[in-house]
Copies of this chain bind each other. A is one copy, B any other.
């Protein structure tokens, strides 16, 4: 089969992760190995929006500079929240895209993002095919939420999980420095999927146990919660609670959107769920609290990036480039786990439609019966993705 010869376009979309630039690095270094096929590499400056504005960045073949991508959080080339409409709704945008593809002779297109971004690449590649413009398009998965189907994990999740585990461990160790501590509420991202909050289960690898972990897959009862917190704190004088930002109440709404207990705070006010729960515990139970919204740090912290995730990300990108050169089009590369111990995996190509606009929730098998903690089998899932035990803090324990 004759190979497409031309240029490569890479773009970033959606919320940044601390691994997205590692994916970019993998694409670039592999592409630079095939200069007779891929002549030049461009990155969109601010995703599709940059493409439409004809703002492409030419990538220089300088490994020293490119290696900095491995430490750089954020989306180094700029991201966007542009939602591509259907061709029927917005044909001009599609024509503009084709025009730019032609202008730069783009024959390989890699778009790095979550569910929405996979929808974008699907629409673009379908349109290019219809117009008989040959271009191999491949989606590179990315989201810290881990909510993409068909893949063992989404790139960005393991490093974010590792940050959360270490942050929870640090907060725990700080709290137990005092004989009498506080109720500590740590809020992770994840409006619909509980993978990030669940990661705190892995504190157990260091002999520490969170008291409660709440995920949005199950309903959250505020009164049960308060009773539980009171019971734990009265017994231990410490409490470590991990919550997902997207907890929903028994009516299925985000809590505090409909809760009359908290009218005085007003749901338009800024401030995450952890702050509101902490306020409630203090006012109702009279117990000292601290809240921690991990916020952007969980997706932007690159200092404790999972080395194994970075290795997989680079390999996945290389696999994607090689696949595209071999004629693969309209696919997404996913990670397929073969075994957990030892951890073995390979890559698979799945249809874009299998992922685009679909969400994957934390599996039921990982959530305990009481809906307030995570089962042991989750450790087998997550631990191999964060360098085994070595990725986590080794802590000193006193001999009492």
Contact = CB atoms under 8 A, between A and B. Distances in A.
A57 B174 contact: no
A399 B43 CA distance: 11
Contacts of A271: 271, 275, 279
B170 A396 contact: no
A45 B377 CA distance: 36
Given A68-B395, A297-B171, A395-B71, A275 B279 contact: no
B295 A393 contact: no
14 contacts: A57-B398, A71-B393, A72-B396, A73-B170, A73-B174, A73-B393, A76-B173, A78-B179, A166-B303, A174-B299, A270-B279, A270-B282, A271-B279, A292-B293
Contact of A79 (B60, B178, B282, B399): B178
A292 to B, nearest CB: 6
Contacts of A81: 178
Contacts of A265: 269
A399 to B, nearest CB: 7
A249 interface: no
Highest count of chain B CB atoms <10 Å: which of A69, A176, A300, A399: A300
A223 interface: no
Interface residues of A, number: 67
A49 B179 CA distance: 10
Contacts of A289: 270
Interface of A: 12, 16, 21, 43, 45-46, 49, 57-58, 60, 65-66, 68-69, 71-81, 166-167, 170-179, 265, 269-271, 275, 278-279, 282, 289-293, 295-297, 299-304, 393-400
Contacts of A57: 398-400
A68 B396 contact: yes
A173 B80 contact: no
A295 to B, nearest CB: 6
A74 B176 contact: yes
Contacts of A166: 303
Given A71-B393, A275-B271, A296 B300 contact: no
Q: Lowest 7 CB-CB distances: which A-B pairs, in order? A: A74-B173, A170-B300, A68-B396, A75-B177, A174-B300, A72-B396, A74-B177
Contacts of A79: 177-178
A387 to B, nearest CB: 13
A294 to B, nearest CB: 9
A68 B12 CA distance: 40
Contacts of A68: 394-397
A57 B396 CA distance: 13
Given A171-B300, A279-B270, A300-B171, A78 B395 contact: no
A159 B314 CA distance: 31
Nearest to A292: B295
Contacts of A76: 173, 396, 398
Contacts of A177: 12, 16, 74-75, 78-79
Contacts of A12: 177
A300 to B, nearest CB: 4
Nearest to A177: B75
